[in-house]
Structures are given as structure tokens and as C-alpha cells.
């Protein structure tokens, strides 16, 4: 059923899926899109949305994506976006339905431009890395994910008929919100995810034969993540975890191959990226959010980590 879709609905649905969505340059009264649109979150870490809409405004939205996979089956239209500091687009390939996998190895910003009058028809399935890890069964599955998440990147290919059929079936599924309707859509989403993942594996040519890779325990990293907002240095972080700094450094490096100091710095700079793009903070404000007292030190650390100055990074995510 065709209808008007407003920005508040899109933001509300994104929040339910655990994503941070900010939409800029909007008219308060005009709809964002018009047409068919559905967004649904299932178990934590798995969501889908589809649309067959005409965009009604020139605007931009920013998402802070957790580590995971975003599969986009594009039937029509063009989506311009910035991901991992690269300007890219989603579109059919040679007028054929395409599938694109946005591989996000770590928390990353994605900015998307909307263009008034653009017809977009697509299906998206997003799955977090932690959800996939929880569904692994043995070393081969774990090695497959290890190979996929080596770095953040985007791959695109012409969709085969099976994938097109699954995406079309999902768009035509029962829209009722009762138990049976949700179970049917979740089953169809999982089928589509399985097909996309198998095709991605073939695209990457990932070999899992004889794999002996083991994934490290994530509990310590999860505890560090929970304390990031409350601690301004490693001493405070160690105290919050009831550990000495030396023990924290030793255990973190042994488990994850990176010092907790480097990880702490990286995550706080990630927070600054969010502040620059989604909160539209000044460089000074972003520096403070990242724990820096002097903007010059922040700019130097930011460019060393990401290859761009804060101003250059913010410019990449502005509407074109």
C-alpha cells in the first residue's frame, strides 16, 4: 500500500534496530518518501527493510553502524553514500538487479544522500557481527567470518535469480504484526541472509578448508566498551574493572593482539567521528568528546588514525 513516510518513522525504526540515525536538511512538514516502506527488527542484531518509494526531499541521513554486514538488493534507482571515508553508490548493474555487501569490520559512519524525485526499489538485510558469531558452529564457520571481516569494504555483483526471488517474496510477504506474520517475515529474512552470505563467500573466494583459527573471548572487550563513556584514561578504566593497569594491558594484548591503550584511543576517536557528522559538533567539541584538551593534538591523532583531518572527514559526509 502506497503511503507517505516521514523522517520520524525512519528514525524510530532505526533506533529499534539499535542503529543511530540522524537526518539533516529536512522540511518539518513534508514527507521524506512516498510509496511502500517496511522496517523490521527481529532478534537483537538482525533487521531488514524494503522500500519501493519516490524520495520527496533533498536531504542526508547518517548512520553509525556497528560491525556487521549490510546486504542491499537494488531493483531500481541510485543511492549515493559515504562509507569508510569513500564516496560510493548503490545501483543496478547494467540495468540488472544487483546485490551489494557493505562489510563493516568495526563501528563506522555511513552517510547517505537522498534526491528529490529519485525512485528507489530495494531490499536490505543488516546483521551484526556478534549475531553471526553466536550462530557459528565450529572452526570452519569462525574462519569464514574471520576472512570476511578482515577490513571494511564494499562488494557488488549481479544478483542471481534465487536471490531476486527471495527478495521479491519478502517484499510481498504478509504485513500483519501477529506472531505468525512476524515468524514468516523472519524466516524469509533468514533465507535471504543465507543466500547473500553464500554468494558473498563465493565473491571473496574465502577458503576455510583445514582452518585452525580460533576467535578470542570478547567479554573483556565488552567490559571495556561499557566503560568508555565513563573513563577518561587507562588508570580510570583499569580501576573501573577492578584490575591493575599492568594486568589490563597484559590480558587485553594477549587476547586481542592490540594494546588497550591503542584500542581506547581508537574508540574515543570513533566517538569523535560520530560527534562531527551526526551531532554536527565543532572540531573543539569533537576533541573534547575524544578526551583531548587541545584541538591540535586531536587533529594530529585523528589524521594519523584515519588519514584525514577532522575537517576533511566532516566534508566527506556533507550533502553534495
- Please give the helix or strand (H or E) that residue 20 lies within, else none: strand 20-24
Summarize pLDDT for 263-312 with one digit per residue, the tens.
888 888 988 888 888 788 899 999 988 888 899 999 999 999 888 999 99
Provide the 3-class DSSP secondary structure of residue 194: helix
pLDDT for residue 137 is more than 90: no
Is 134 in the same domain as 14?
A: yes
What are the residue ranges of helices labelled H in 78-160?
129-134, 139-148
pLDDT of residue 241: 84
CATH code where residue 80 lies: 2.60.120.10
> What confidence category does residue 209 fall into, taking pLDDT thresholds of 50, 70 and 90?
very low
Question: Is residue 113 pLDDT above 90, yes or no?
Answer: no
Query: Is the residue at 214 inside a domain?
Result: no
On whether the CB atoms of residues 59 and 24 are closer than 8 A, the answer is yes
One domain, residues 245 and 166: no
Is residue 174 located within the same domain as residue 234? no
Percent of the chain beyond pLDDT 70? Answer: 89
194 and 276 part of one domain: no
Quote the CA–CA distance of 194 and 200 in Å, as a whole number.
10
Q: Which of 178, 204, 230 is the last residue of a domain?
A: 204
- Whether residues 102 and 246 share a domain: the answer is no
Query: Domain check: are 135 and 247 in the same one?
Result: no
Average pLDDT, the chain: 84
Asked, for residue 105, whether it belongs to a domain, the answer is: yes
> Quick check: helix, strand or coil at residue 71?
strand
Q: Tell me the CA distances in angstroms from 97 to 48, 165, 191, 263, one per residue in order.
A: 18, 11, 18, 40
Is there a domain that residue 182 lies in?
yes
Query: pLDDT digit string (tens) for 144-166?
Result: 898 899 888 889 999 999 999 99
Q: How many helices (H) and strands (E) does the chain have?
A: 12, 12
Q: Are residues 288 and 143 in the same domain?
A: no
Cell digits for 172?
Answer: 510481498
Is 287 inside a domain boundary?
Answer: yes
Residue ranges making up the domain that contains 117: 3-204
The answer to whether residue 209 is domain-embedded is no
What are φ and ψ of residue 19, in 5° steps?
Answer: -105, 150
In the numeric block, which cell numbers belong to residue 205? 573466494
Residue 22 pLDDT? 62
5: enclosing H helix or E strand: strand 3-5
CA 203/CA 180 separation, integer angstroms: 35
Number of separate domains in the chain: 2
Structural domain ending residue among the three candidates 179, 204, 229: 204
Q: Among the three residues 174, 204, 234, which one is the final residue of a domain in this structure?
A: 204
For 21, phi then psi, to 5°, come to: -120, 130
- 86: confidence class by pLDDT, cuts 50, 70, 90: confident
Q: Give me the pLDDT at residue 218, please.
A: 47
Residue 211 lies in a domain: no
In a domain, 42, yes or no: yes
Q: Residue 34: its pLDDT value, please?
A: 92
**Nine-digit cell at 69?**
554486514
Which residue do the cell numbers 532505526 mark? 14
Q: Alpha helices of the chain — where are they, by DSSP H?
A: 7-16, 129-134, 139-148, 161-171, 179-204, 219-227, 234-240, 245-256, 260-277, 283-289, 295-306, 310-316
Check pLDDT > 90 for residue 206. no
Residue 41 CA to residue 44 CA, distance in Å, equals 7
- Please give the pLDDT value at position 61: 80
Structure confidence at residue 14 as a pLDDT band (50, 70, 90): low
Grid cell at residue 66: 556497528
Amino acid at each position: 500500500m502506497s503511503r507517505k513516510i516521514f523522517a520520524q518513522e525512519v528514525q524510530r525504526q532505526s533506533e529499534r534496530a539499535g542503529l543511530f540515525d540522524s537526518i539533516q536538511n529536512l522540511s518539518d512538514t513534508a514527507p521524506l518518501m512516498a510509496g511502500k516502506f517496511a522496517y523490521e527488527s527481529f532478534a537483537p542484531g538482525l533487521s531488514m527493510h524494503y522500500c519501493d518509494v519516490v524520495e520527496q526531499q533533498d536531504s542526508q541521513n547518517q548512520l553509525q553502524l556497528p560491525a556487521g554486514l549490510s546486504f542491499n538488493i537494488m531493483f531500481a534507482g541510485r543511492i549515493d553514500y559515504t562509507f569508510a571515508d569513500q564516496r560510493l553508490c548503490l545501483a543496478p548493474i547494467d540495468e540488472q538487479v544487483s546485490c551489494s555487501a557493505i562489510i563493516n569490520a568495526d563501528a563506522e559512519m555511513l552517510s547517505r544522500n537522498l534526491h528529490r524525485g529519485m525512485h528507489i526499489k530495494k531490499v536490505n538485510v543488516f546483521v551484526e557481527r556478534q549475531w553471526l558469531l553466536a550462530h557459528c558452529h565450529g572452526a570452519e564457520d569462525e574462519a569464514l567470518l574471520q576472512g570476511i571481516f578482515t577490513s571494511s569494504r564494499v562488494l557488488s555483483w549481479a544478483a542471481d535469480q534465487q536471490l531476486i526471488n527471495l527478495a521479491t517474496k519478502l517484499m510481498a510477504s504478509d504485513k500483519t504484526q501477529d506472531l505468525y506474520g512476524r515468524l514468516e517475515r523472519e524466516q524469509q529474512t533468514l533465507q535471504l541472509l543465507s543466500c547473500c552470505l553464500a554468494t558473498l563467500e563465493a565473491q571473496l573466494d574465502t577458503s576455510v578448508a583445514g582452518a585452525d583459527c580460533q576467535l578470542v573471548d570478547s567479554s573483556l572487550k565488552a567490559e571495556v566498551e561499557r566503560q568508555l563513556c565513563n573513563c577518561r584514561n587507562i588508570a580510570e578504566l583499569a580501576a573501573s574493572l577492578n584490575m591493575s593497569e599492568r594486568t589490563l594491558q597484559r590480558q587485553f594484548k594477549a587476547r586481542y593482539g592490540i594494546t588497550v591503550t591503542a584500542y581506547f584511543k581508537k574508540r574515543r576517536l570513533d566517538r569523535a567521528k560520530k560527534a562531527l557528522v551526526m551531532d554536527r559538533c565543532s572540531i573543539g567539541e569533537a576533541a573534547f568528546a575524544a578526551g583531548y584538551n587541545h584541538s591540535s593534538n586531536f587533529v594530529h591523532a585523528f589524521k594519523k588514525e584515519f588519514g584525514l583531518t577532522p575537517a576533511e572527514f566532516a566534508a566527506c559526509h556533507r550533502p553534495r
